[in-house]
Structure 1
Amino acid sequence: MIRRISLLVAACAISAFAADQPNIIFILSDDLAQGDLGCYGQKLIQTPNLDRMAQEGTRYTQGYSGTSVCAPSRSVLMTGLHTGHCPIRANREVQPEGQKPLPAGTITVAKILKDAGYATACCGKWGMGMFDTTGSPLKLGFDHFFGYNCQRHAHSYFPTYLYNDDQRFDLPGNTGKGIGKTYAQNLIADETLKFVRANQKKPFFLYYAITLPHGTFEIDDLGIYKDKPWTATQKSYAAMVTRLDNDVGRLLSLLKELKLDANTLVMLAGDNGSSFDPKSEVGKLFDQASNGLRGFKRSLYEGALRQAALARWPGKVPAGRVSDEPWAFWDFLPTAAELAGASIPAECKTDGFSLVSFLKGGPAPKRDHFYWELHEGASLQAVRFGDWKALRQGPEKPTELYDLKTDAAEAHDIAASKPDLVAKAEALMKSSRTEHPDWPLVQKRPGKNKKK
């Protein structure tokens, strides 16, 4: 009898603890730029659901990605380590399918949340290790996976196959070359709703790594853009952004239907800033540089690192707030851990700070600096401390310095007049990184990089 009472008390305690754990959804869009969304000033592309999400929550103007290409940015998000410490610091292909895997024993957001009692799923694109490697999502804390594992495979929106967990299933009628019967995003979007419905009675973490609007620019329905006087690429890109908006809207509507709204934090971000040169076919029409920032994908200027970032949690995240305070992808792991009431393992040396108070309306965490690096060609480095931003286009290049408070566009390099700040920046660049044989600082990488 005493044992039965003890078990009942324990079960009630676990239930009460679970009730305090919010559901967590992180929607990571592939290449979504601030300039793509109406809430950031876009005039030609329709994004009513994301604009409403911004109105019902908070929009961030200085949310920083992990770096400015796919795999390392996603690895930063999952591990809480910036690219000076993250095990993946560039896109590296593995043939015939996949990318350089996260190493064995990597502690991810999913692992921490799963250990705290969460159901966990990744739907969309992974790109951090195939299923037979140490980087498999199913070995790193995810109960369920659905979509593309390989970034290269994800370039097709009409692929010949996808994965359900680690099981490949074919999509008959698809060519993998822009033609087919099944638009992969339709299946991925449906799977996210299925996961939420199946886990509505317990806390869950959904990492929705949606591939839209990354090129190749393929869409099964141009919708409202069909008759626009634009090029085929411009129409497709706009339709892909609006499809993303629609699928996020479906997910938000389901949360309301299931009465999960008040207990679900939804964050949305792009994995890097704009992927287009402002003078390009897409960049020029849609004025993606309207925020006045310099740079785009594969650089470390602000336009490549600041991405579209929204958070919504009714009653917790202030509605209609616009925050200019900076935060970064490596803050997500400690944020999720605090929300779940979970301890971060001692071996997980996160670079991030919890954003829980910030998300709820408080100030952003105080920190010494932000740091990024990238190894696609020359090894790029950048550091921000206060409003000062410094970057170097390779170890043999001079350090550039900008005052973001007065020059967010990074148009005026003031390094020559601020030698003390340049010295500080260079010291931070050195101290912020761990040397690794896979990621030496080089002025030019031999061989050709695959672009993702």
Structure 2
Amino acid sequence: MLRHAFSRILLAVSALVCAAAELPAADRPNIIWIMADDLGYGDLGCFGQKVIQTPNLDRMAMEGMKFSHFYAGATVCAPSRSVLMTGLHHGHTRVRGNAGKTNPAAQALKEGDVTVAKVLKDAGYKTALIGKWGLGDVGEAETGLPRKQGFDYFYGYLNQTHAHNHFPDYLWRNETKEPLSNIVSPLGENGGGYATDPVHFSDDLFADEALKFVEENKASPFFIYWSLVVPHANNERTRELKDGAEVPDYGPYADKDWPNPDKGQAAMITRLDSYVGRMLKLLKAQGLAEKTLVIFTSDNGPHNESNHDLTRFAPSGPYTGIKRSLTDGGIRVPLIAWWPGKIKAGLETRHVASFADWMATAAELADAKVPEKTDSISFVPTLMSNGAKQEQHEFLYWEFHEGGFKQAALYQGRWKGIRAEGSDALVALYDQQNDVEEKTNVAAENPDIAAKIGEYLKTARTDSADWEPRWKAEGKKKKK
């Protein structure tokens, strides 16, 4: 434990040293982090998609930099966002799974947690969260409310069940419920349901709100965490109507000879693409493009919850698995970085990074301090095409609590180890460099590497009363 704590301190100090060398304080950019929900690595044209149209994001990639080896914080929503906000990997961050209504406090950030929004706010940035949160709610989980976690302004959904409904009858503006004219058929708790009379599509409202925030705050540095809901399914609508791809219209896919869920899934992604196009156009029109870093990514791998056909779109690209998988299809996500005049156009990097690295990256850009406890390594040197200064991770780490505790680690950017239930279970080892589909377990041929990853997995996580591995919790019960 002391060794891991010391290494995190060294990373934080190193990030501060790099900050002084890489980017003068006068060049602090505005920062916009745009994140799709359940968008796969292969869902964008610039990452290999052949069917769905994404012209704006493809242009963004041509004008900026693609990360081909970028990883989400987790394979599902809440913990991935917790890693993003805290700069702590999945075994250290506060929220490690989707607790939902059964234990909302376990899915909330707490007082004393340090988010990237707090770091940027303390550095003089205006901070806004627009869209889906998932790390705090009214009631038992209010310690995690956005404005208690560093955001000056919030507009959107607090909990993810409410966010299933793309046509809700209310959204939150700060801590106030703001009614919408959609007529909703409620299902379950926490705002779940679907609209029987849809009028206002939430992501349309979020796009308007994000653009408005830019126009109103262009005189000072700002940070927008624009957390889209598309192309996440409306799970309740899928159960009731067999079609969870809830979207105002099917756009260019209306005349396709496809089932409606397929049309809706494609239309959500193309609609998302249009939002990004609007933002980049606004930044150019306002003279802010050269002063603003825009990053686009997704919170985890693609879903299969709209009743759409995965084979039509191949959303995981060349990788195996989808959301809830620890193979790369569940955790490797597209990332595009755009900053005209700073990031060279048309580049692709193989630098291995993850959501945890956003903390150190944002802090360096803002000339701010990285929290003392961190698993974050800034990728600013990569953005600035200064690879010689880029630090590398020895390990990336993930875990998953649904259906039995599992762990995974990526070692040296190449070797993926996955361990199923039980602290001493054997590690399945995959050579991601030569087997991107993770089809062949090579642990027997590489016992030293498998053993090294296995030892790391034993010490990678800190204990959390809210997120104990099932085998460990059951062991405690037996002792009693």
Please give the TM-score of this superposition, normalised by the length of structure 2: 0.85
Distance apart, 1:325 and its partner CA: 2.2
Matches within 5 A, 1:44-443: 44-94=51-101, 100-132=107-139, 133-175=142-184, 176-179=193-196, 180-216=198-234, 217-276=245-304, 281-289=308-316, 291-346=317-372, 349-363=373-387, 364-386=390-412, 387-395=414-422, 397-442=425-470
Distance apart, 1:103 and its partner CA: 1.4
Distance apart, 1:119 and its partner CA: 0.1
Secondary structure of 2:156's counterpart equals strand
Distance apart, 1:117 and its partner CA: 0.3
**2:326–2:398 Cα contact (<8 Å) kept:** yes
**2:106–2:466 Cα contact (<8 Å) kept:** no
Q: Deviations over 1:14-33 (max 9, x none)?
A: xxx87432101101110111
CA distance in 1, matches of 2:457, 2:352: 19
CA distance in 2, matches of 1:338, 1:319: 22
Distance apart, 1:286 and its partner CA: 0.9
Distance apart, 1:398 and its partner CA: 2.5
Decide which structure has greater helix share. 2
Q: Deviations over 1:93-124 (max 9, x none)?
A: 13798972111111000000000000000000
Q: Deviations over 1:362-411 (max 9, x none)?
A: 32422221111121221111111111110112226431001111111111
Secondary structure of 1:288's counterpart equals coil
CA distance in 2, matches of 1:403, 1:188: 41
Q: Deviations over 1:147-194 (max 9, x none)?
A: 111100000011110011111011124315143111111111110011
The change in CA–CA distance for 1:38 and 1:98 in structure 2 (over 3 A counts) is farther
Distance apart, 1:330 and its partner CA: 0.2
Q: Bigger shift: 190-199 or 280-289?
A: 280-289
**1:99–1:129 Cα contact (<8 Å) kept:** no
Q: Which residue type is aligned with residue 97 of structure 2?
A: A
Q: Which residue type is aligned with residue 326 of structure 1?
A: V
CA distance in 1, matches of 2:154, 2:104: 17
The change in CA–CA distance for 1:131 and 1:20 in structure 2 (over 3 A counts) is farther
CA distance in 2, matches of 1:444, 1:298: 21
CA distance in 2, matches of 1:445, 1:186: 44
Q: Deviations over 1:312-359 (max 9, x none)?
A: 01111121111222110000001000100011243xx11010111111
Secondary structure of 1:35's counterpart equals coil
Secondary structure of 1:367's counterpart equals coil
CA distance in 1, matches of 2:52, 2:364: 36
CA distance in 1, matches of 2:371, 2:99: 28
Secondary structure of 1:238's counterpart equals helix
Q: Bigger shift: 297-306 or 388-397?
A: 388-397
CA distance in 2, matches of 1:282, 1:53: 28
CA distance in 2, matches of 1:262, 1:210: 24
The percent of aligned pairs where both chains have the same amino acid is 45
CA distance in 2, matches of 1:43, 1:368: 34
The change in CA–CA distance for 1:445 and 1:267 in structure 2 (over 3 A counts) is farther
Distance apart, 1:225 and its partner CA: 0.8
Matches within 5 A, 1:37-48: 37-48=44-55
CA distance in 2, matches of 1:224, 1:149: 32
The change in CA–CA distance for 1:170 and 1:317 in structure 2 (over 3 A counts) is same
CA distance in 2, matches of 1:187, 1:209: 12
CA distance in 1, matches of 2:342, 2:40: 26
Structure 1 gap segments, 5+ residues each: 1-16, 447-452
Distance apart, 1:210 and its partner CA: 0.5
Secondary structure of 1:389's counterpart equals strand
**1:378–1:445 Cα contact (<8 Å) kept:** no
Q: Deviations over 1:196-229 (max 9, x none)?
A: 1110000000000000100021011111111100
**1:47–1:241 Cα contact (<8 Å) kept:** yes
Question: How many residue pairs were aligned?
Answer: 425
Q: Bigger shift: 175-184 or 255-264?
A: 175-184
Q: Deviations over 1:269-301 (max 9, x none)?
A: 110122249xx8431111224x32111111111
* Superposed CA RMSD: 1.9
Which residue of structure 2 aligns with residue 9 of structure 1?
A: none
Q: Which residue type is aligned with residue 310 of structure 1?
A: I
Which residue of structure 1 aligns with residue 237 of structure 2?
A: none
Secondary structure of 1:177's counterpart equals strand
**1:37–1:50 Cα contact (<8 Å) kept:** yes
Which residue of structure 2 aligns with residue 7 of structure 1?
A: none
Q: Which residue type is aligned with residue 361 of structure 1?
A: S
Moved over 6 A (4+): 95-99
CA distance in 1, matches of 2:338, 2:30: 12
CA distance in 1, matches of 2:106, 2:232: 17
**2:265–2:308 Cα contact (<8 Å) kept:** no
Secondary structure of 2:107's counterpart equals coil
CA distance in 2, matches of 1:99, 1:182: 31
Q: Which residue type is aligned with residue 339 of structure 1?
A: L
